[in-house]
Amino acid sequence: MPRARSTETRDRIQAAALELFAAHGIRETSLRQIAERLGITKPALYYHFASREDLLRSLMQPLVDDVEAVIAADEARYGNEPVDARELLTRYFDVSYAHRAVTALLLRDIAPLGELGFLQNVVDWRRRLTTLLVGPDAGVADRARAIVALGGLGDCLVLLADVPVDELRTAAVDAACAALAGRGAADPTPTAPVD
């Protein structure tokens, strides 16, 4: 039984840390505050996490592992073949949604997570997903649309967090597909003013 209790305490520490990090910022939240929130001592917290950075890594690693798995599976599935963009974007939405609290933290408090190397993970994911969506030899316009599609999809998780998941998935993936296809882009031909 001690192992189950230890895992439960670890999970409670992670949940409290995520809540406090989101509310006050990573740098502004101390391990003491997390321990106080849970009614445990700092040594008890240190038993599970040696530092704030260790705690942050424990929060981020499941997202990293899951996104890496999804992208690797898509790379293996499609290889150099054209992808089904809607399916790929839906899988990316779903894995990001499963970790939406961590995704929101990553978008809101990027500097400390960047210092731990997680920003580079996101940049690498975006590059790999862009290549899957538009191919390795795509032009600037196609790559830009893919980047906008991916970034917008992630932003929807944070900015539309109150929307039910099924409605949000449909709207966000539809919008990302539209951005990818270039629909809704400004017409480069100027129009004459209407009198």
**Consecutive 10-residue runs of the chain (195 residues): their mean pLDDT?**
70 95 91 95 93 92 94 91 93 94 82 84 93 94 95 92 96 96 52 43
Query: Are residues 164 and 71 both part of a single domain?
Result: yes
pLDDT at 115: 84
Tell whether 189 is covered by a domain: no
pLDDT at 13: 96
Tell whether 188 is covered by a domain: no
Tell whether 107 is covered by a domain: yes
Structural domain count of the chain:
2
Query: Are residues 9 and 95 both part of a single domain?
Result: no
Cα–Cα distance measured from residue 132 to residue 83, given in angstroms and rounded to the nearest whole number: 7
pLDDT at 5: 64
Query: Are residues 97 and 139 both part of a single domain?
Result: yes
pLDDT at 6: 74
Query: Are residues 42 and 121 both part of a single domain?
Result: no
Cα–Cα distance measured from residue 194 to residue 102, given in angstroms and rounded to the nearest whole number: 48
Q: Are the C-beta atoms of residues 148 and 175 closer than 8 Å to each other? A: no
Tell whether 33 is covered by a domain: yes
**Backbone torsions φ then ψ of 137, nearest 5 degrees:** -110, 20
Range of the domain at 11: 1-50
**This prediction's pTM:** 0.82
Tell whether 194 is covered by a domain: no
171-174: which pairs have CB atoms within 8 A and are 24 or more residues apart?
172/93, 173/86, 173/89, 173/90, 173/93
